Amino acid sequence: MPFSSTTPAVSDGFTLRWDTTSVTVTGPNEVTTDTASNVFPNPETRGSLAYTTDRDSSMLTATSGKFNPKTGKIRGDGTWKITPTVGSPTSGSFKVTKFIDFHLAGGILPSVIGGTTIVDLVGRNKDARAGALNAQIEYSDGTIGIMLFGCRLPVGDTPPASDLFEGVLMTKGFTMWWEPDDPKDGNLLDVPQSNTLLHVLD
């Protein structure tokens, strides 16, 4: 798969980490991305919740974990809250049970973009990667589903940003939440609640 010259390589043996993240303005020319993993999996105090919708409801998701694309080893969990158009919200947790696939995309997360400093508190800027992770999950109520985690980076993206979503798409049984409220044109501050990050781990 061809990548642009701005795409850092990923070794076959590397493990990657995924996180839903918060992005906040922390100074006149500074933004900070962070995740509150110390309070995970409480969905009210997690650093960020990815937002996605279907025809009749919305789902908020917070998730974090690690995986190795070569070995297929994966470990992670998350929380969810479904708010239907009619009726009361439901919520719970889930565990990631099976790696399905991962597709690396191009892009980098520079420490400075257009005069604005990007502070990455989840990992190191240079270790950020773009791509799409597909995994099977099991909800706390026993339902099986699929999590599709997408991360788009703001500089040097290949394929174009329009081909890779930012956020978390979920299925739960036969229901799918397919429309992420993702930042447009790679703008980190466009929709803070739907930002995601992938990092290569040493």
How many domains does the structure of the chain reveal?
1
pTM, to two decimals: 0.82
In a domain, 60, yes or no: yes
40 pLDDT band (50/70/90 cuts)?
very low
Rounded Cα–Cα distance for residues 138 and 172 (Å): 9
In a domain, 4, yes or no: no
Q: How far is CA 17 from CA 22, 133, 186, in A?
A: 16, 11, 20
Three-state SS at 86: coil
In a domain, 108, yes or no: yes
pLDDT digit string (tens) for 186-195? Answer: 455 454 456 7
Backbone angles phi, psi at 163, to 5 degrees: -95, -10
Query: Which residues, other chains included, contact 153 with Cβ-Cβ below 8 Å and sequence gap of 6+?
Result: 107, 108, 109, 128, 129, 130, 186
Residue, of 43 and 37, whose pLDDT is higher: 37
In a domain, 10, yes or no: no
Rounded Cα–Cα distance for residues 188 and 51 (Å): 15
pLDDT digit string (tens) for 131-147? Answer: 999 999 999 999 999 99
In a domain, 152, yes or no: yes
- Which range of residues forms the domain containing residue 20? 15-190
Rounded Cα–Cα distance for residues 60 and 170 (Å): 10
The percentage of residues in the chain with a pLDDT greater than 90, rounded to a whole number, is 34
104 pLDDT band (50/70/90 cuts)?
very high
pLDDT digit string (tens) for 60-72? Answer: 888 899 999 999 9
In a domain, 171, yes or no: yes
In a domain, 5, yes or no: no
